[in-house]
Amino acid sequence: MSSPRTVLIVEDHKPLRRLLAFLLGNAGYSTCEAGDGATAIDEARDASPDLVLLDWQLPDMDGLAVLRRWRDDPVTAVLPVIMMSGESAEGDRVAGLKAGADDYLVKPFGKDELLARVEAVLRRAGTMRDGAAGQREFAGIVVDTRSLRVTAGGAPVHLGPIEFRMLNLFVTSPERV
C-alpha cells in the first residue's frame, strides 16, 4: 500500500490551519503544519512534503519571501506551492505566481476547490505516491526529484533550480505540447 502524500500547511491563523489539516486528512493526505515563515522554511527541508499550502501574510515574513527562499534552495526549489491569500486583485495573484507559486487560491475558498487545486498541482508536478523514490526517466535522462540530481547517459548534469523544474516537467509529460 502506498503512503499518503504529505501537504505542509503554512498558516498563522491556527483555527484555519486545523480546518485545512482536517479537510486534507479526510481526503487521504498526511499533513504537517507551520504557523510562521521561519518554521515553514525549516519544515519544508525536514519533512520533504509533496506540496505546500502557503499563506501570503505570516507574522515574521510574508509568504513571498518564504517562497523565494524555497526557490533559491536546491532542496526545495521544485517543491509545488499553492499560495493562499485574502487578496484577490490581479496584481497580487500575478506577484504570487511570478515569485514561483504553482497556483493561487483566494480566501475564502470552498473544500471542493481546495481539493481540486491540490490534486491539479500534484498532477502537474508529477508527484509520485510510491515507486522509484521520485525518479523519472525519459530517453536516457534520469531526473531524481528527491535528491535533485539529473543524469544523462549515466553522467551527472548540473542544472539551476528553474532548469531543473522545466526538465522535470518535460520528463513527466513527454508527449504534451
Checking if the pLDDT of 2 tops 70, the result is no
Higher pLDDT, 136 or 121: 121
**pTM over cut 0.75:** no
DSSP string, the chain: -PPPPEEEEE-S-HHHHHHHHHHHHHTT-EEEEESSHHHHHHHHHHH--SEEEEES--SSS-HHHHHHHHHHSTTTTT--EEEEES---HHHHHHHHHTT-SEEEESS--HHHHHHHHHHHHHHHT--SSSSTTEEEETTEEEETTTTEEEETTEEE---HHHHHHHHHHHHSTT--
Residue-level pLDDT at 96:
86
Higher pLDDT, 146 or 8: 8
In this prediction, residue 1 carries a pLDDT of 43
For residue 114, pLDDT beyond 80 = yes
pLDDT in tens, 50-98: 999 999 999 999 999 999 999 888 888 889 999 999 888 888 888 888 8
Nearest Cα to Cα of residue 78 among 169, 11, 17, 170: 169
| 138 pLDDT tier (thresholds 50, 70, 90) | confident
Question: By C-alpha distance, which of 141, 147, 132 is closest to 169?
Answer: 141
Give residue 27's pLDDT.
Answer: 94
pLDDT of the residue at 85? 92
pLDDT > 50? residue 139: yes
| pLDDT of 134 | 66
